[in-house]
Every structure is written in C-alpha cells, then in structure tokens.
Amino acid sequence: MMTAIKAYYDGKSFIPLQKYTFKPRQNVLIVVDEDEDKPVSPVQRFLNLSWQGDESADEILSLIEKNRVNSERFEETNELFD
C-alpha cells in the first residue's frame, strides 16, 4: 500500500505538511511536483503548519490574542491605530 503525503524541502530536509508516523529507516518515494516549484510565501508556510497539540483552533487564537504585545511605536504618534 502507498500513502501520499504533501511536504516541502527546506534546503536540508523534507518537512511533511500532514501528520504521519514514519518507521525508522522506512523507504519513501519522493515525487517532485514541477508545477509547485515557485517560492512559498511566509503566509502560506504559516498556514501549512500542522498543530500537534490538543488545543482547538479557537483556543490557539485566544492564546495568541491574550499574549499579544502591542508595539509602543504606534502609541500617540499614529491615530490610525487608535
């Protein structure tokens, strides 16, 4: 049986974009998608990350919002962000 898993190459290693448990010394077949050789934007790389914790998406967003630190450089100098 074969299973297809999307991944990207970071210059040193292949990084899976999906959860999969590899066995030690497991053989793999790598197929290069020539249509996707364009650079991946930082936003797309962020969106492709998989979360391996038990938190839901809402809990993760809540943690991000709770721990967010606003930049002091916009205080009092830029009314756009008030």
Span 34-46, average pLDDT: 72
pTM exceeds 0.85: no
Q: Which of 76 and 58 is assigned the larger pLDDT?
A: 58
Q: Which of 23 and 64 is assigned the larger pLDDT?
A: 23
> Is the pLDDT assigned to residue 65 strictly greater than 60?
yes
Span 12-34, average pLDDT: 88
Beta bridge partners of 7: 16
Residue 47 carries which DSSP code? H
Beta bridge partners of 16: 7
Q: Do 6 and 17 contact (CB within 8 A), yes or no?
A: yes
What beta strand segments (E) does 1-82 contain?
Answer: 7-9, 14-16
For 19, list phi and psi in degrees, rounded to 5.
-70, 135
pLDDT of res. 33: 78
